[in-house]
Structures are given as C-alpha cells and as structure tokens.
C-alpha cells in the first residue's frame, strides 16, 4: 500500500490564495494612502461614486482640486489627478514625476491636489475657456469653465503641473511649494 502525502495549506498561503481568488477578474488594485498606511486591495472608484471640485486659491495661476468618495465603501483613484485644459494637448504633469498608481479613498473621504497653471518663467501663455478634472484616467472627468472659477476671460496656461492627491489641502499646497512652484 502506497500512502500519498498531501501538503496542507499554511494559514498565510491560504490567506494569500483567498485574496488572489477574490480579486481575480475584479477591478482591484494595490492602493496607497496619504497616511502612509500599508497598501490594501480596493476596487477602482466608479466615476458616479466620486465628486470632483475645482476652485481658485486666491492666485490666478493656482487651482485647488478635490475628490470625495461618496460611496459607503473604500475605493481607489489614480494617485495623480488627470487635468486637461480646453483644447490643448496633454494633461498637467505630476510634480514630483511619478508613475500612475492607486490612491485609496475611505468611504466619505476627500483628497486634495494643487495645480499650478502657468510656469513662473513663462514668456508666453495660452488662454483656455475651461478645464476638465478626472480623479482616475478611466473617468471622463468634470468640466469647469473659467467663468465658474472666477476667470470669465479664460484661464492662462503654460506648462501646467499638479501634485498627487493628499489628505489635506495644506499637504497639497506644501507639496507644490516643495517642488519649487
């Protein structure tokens, strides 16, 4: 008689297998948080589950952006907002330069980013009537007119940059200042 030995799953390998099976085929991503907490798997936020807002900061070349998770569950947006200006090509570049990665938003939580629209040494600018802000590249985004932002003649743009999402408005402003903007 031959006895076969079946290896038992350890608790840690069983947990890893459960996470792998639970997320296979689901829109999940490793998400970072603004608090330095360990990454965890959360689904990408549906565009209908988040609200996006934009406002002037008191300076015509600095906008404040925020995204709020209106759902009852945590979800992830991209760690850098996608901000496009009128019919100009491209989006605001992230400072510091970072690749795309998830940013975890708790249920009801709000994240903040700062956007500098005109480089301080710009010799020329373009005027645009509106801008679009998306919390994730998979979202269409929300369009804001210059008039709605207090700039009825349009917004001046040249080499725009944006911070990553931060847990506070002050954190976003400090990140922009630290990058030299």
Using alpha carbons, list the distances in angstroms from residue 90 to 74, 83, 87, 102, 160: 29, 9, 9, 21, 10
DSSP class of 141: -
32 or 44: which leads in pLDDT: 44
Residue 175: enclosing H or E segment and its boundaries?
Answer: helix 169-178
Compute CA 78 distance to the chain's CA centroid, rounded to the nearest angstrom: 4
Q: Identify the pLDDT of residue 28.
A: 32
Query: Given a cut of 80, is residue 26 above it in pLDDT?
Result: no
Residue 169: enclosing H or E segment and its boundaries?
Answer: helix 169-178
Residue range 135-173, pLDDT digits in tens? 999 999 999 999 999 999 989 999 999 999 999 999 999
Q: Identify the pLDDT of residue 29.
A: 35
């Amino acid at each position: 008689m031959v006895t076969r030995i079946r290896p038992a799953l350890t608790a840690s390998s069983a947990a890893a297998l459960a996470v792998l099976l639970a997320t296979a085929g689901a829109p999940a991503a490793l998400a970072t948080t603004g608090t330095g907490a360990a990454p965890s798997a959360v689904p990408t936020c549906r565009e209908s589950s988040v609200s996006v807002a934009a406002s002037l900061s008191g300076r015509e070349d600095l906008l404040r952006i925020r995204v709020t998770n209106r759902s009852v569950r945590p979800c992830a947006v991209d760690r850098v907002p996608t901000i496009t200006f009128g019919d100009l090509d491209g989006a605001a570049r992230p400072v510091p330069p970072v690749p795309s990665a998830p940013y975890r938003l708790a249920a009801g939580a709000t994240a903040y980013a700062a956007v500098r629209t005109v480089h301080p040494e710009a010799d020329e600018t373009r005027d645009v009537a509106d801008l679009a802000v998306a919390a994730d590249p998979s979202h269409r985004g929300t369009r804001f007119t210059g008039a709605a932002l207090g700039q009825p003649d349009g917004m001046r743009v040249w080499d725009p940059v944006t911070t990553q999402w931060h847990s506070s408005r002050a954190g976003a402003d400090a990140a922009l200042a630290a990058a030299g903007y």
